[in-house]
Amino acid sequence: MSQIVVEKKVLNENQKLAEELRAKFREHKILVVNIISSPGSGKTTLLERTLERLDKGRRVRLLTGDLQTENDAKRLAQWGFPVKQIITGGTCHLDAKMITKHLEDWPLDTFDMLIIENVGNLVCPTSYDLGEHFKIVMLSVTEGEDKPLKYPSIFVRSELMLLSKVDLLPYLSFDAELAKKNARSVHPGMEIIETSSKGNGLDTWIAWLDAKIKAVKSGELVSA
C-alpha cells in the first residue's frame, strides 16, 4: 500500500511540473514531442537522419535521455542543432523535473520545436507527462508484431507510431500489416509512418512535424 501512495505522490508532483512546462510551451508556441520506444528501435538514428535533412537555420532543440552515457547527444550534435544529454543514473524514464532543469539556459523564445528522446523503455516513460503535445511511439521490425498488445498503454497515449527499420522487411518474417492492425486495435485511427535509416518515410515524418509546428504557431493546436 505504501508503495502505491509514494508512486501517486511522485506522479502528482511530476504532473504539477509538467503543467508548468506546458504553460510555458503554450506561451512561446513551441511544439514538443516525446519519442518513446524499446532500446535499439532506432530513435537516435531516425533523429540523425531527420537533422541531416533539416535546414540548419531551423529553430530546433533536442533533449536525449540515457541511463549512463552521452553517446546519443554526441551523435546528434554533429548536425549543428543544440542538443543536451540527460543522464538518469539508472532511472528508466525522463520526468518533468529533468526537463525543467535542462531547459534553464535555453531561452524559450529562441526555438520552435523541442524533440525529447526518452530512455529506451515502453513502460516507465508512459506514465510521466513532460508537458509535451504528443507522445510518439516507435516500433521496429526487429521486434514483435504483438508489442502493441503487450504494451497497450504507450500505444493508446501516442498520437503517432513510427514503424522503423522497414528496409529490413525483405529479410525478416515480421508482418508489418499485422503490427499496424494490432496498434490500431488498441488505438483506432492511430497515425503510422514507416521509416528507415535508408530514407523511407523521412519526408513524410518531417512534413508531419512541420504541420504540427504550423498548427501550434497558428493557435490551431494547443497542448491539453
What pTM value is reported for the model? 0.94
In a domain, 167, yes or no: yes
What's the number of domains the chain is made of?
1
Q: Residues 87, 68: contact at Cβ < 8 Å? A: yes
The whole-angstrom separation of Cα 98 and Cα 77 is 20
pLDDT score for 10? 75
Is pLDDT above 50 for 1? Answer: no
CATH number of the structural domain spanning residue 73? 3.40.50.300
* Nearest-angstrom CA–CA distance, 156 and 148: 9
What is the model's pLDDT at position 200? 96
Asked if residue 128 belongs to a domain, the reply is yes
What is the Cα–Cα distance from 160 to 204, expressed in whole angstroms? Answer: 12
Is 6 contained in some domain? Answer: no
Percent of the chain topping pLDDT 90: 88
**Left, alpha or beta for 199 (phi > 0: left; psi -120 to 50: alpha)?**
left
Q: Could you tell me if 76 and 62 are in contact, meaning their C-beta atoms sit under 8 angstroms apart?
A: yes
9 found inside a domain: no
In the sheet that 113-117 helps form, which strands lie side by side, from edge to edge?
83-87, 60-66, 113-117, 31-37, 134-140, 158-164, 191-194
Asked whether residue 5 is assigned to any structural domain, the reply reads: no
Distance, in Å, from the CA atom of 158 to the CA atom of 3, rounded to the nearest integer, reads: 27
Q: In terms of residue numbers, what domain contains 69?
A: 14-215
Whether residue 96 has pLDDT greater than 50:
yes
CA 96 – CA 88 distance, rounded (Å):
12
Let me know if residue 8 belongs to a domain. Answer: no
pLDDT digits (tens, 9 = 90+) for 207-223: 999 999 999 999 998 76
Instruction: Answer yes or no: is pLDDT of 189 > 60.
Output: yes
- Sign of the Cα torsion 212, 216, 217, 218 reads positive
User: Following DSSP, what letter does each residue of 52-102 receive, concatenated?
Assistant: HHS-TTS-EEEEEEESS--HHHHHHHTTSS-EEEEE-TT-SS--HHHHHHH
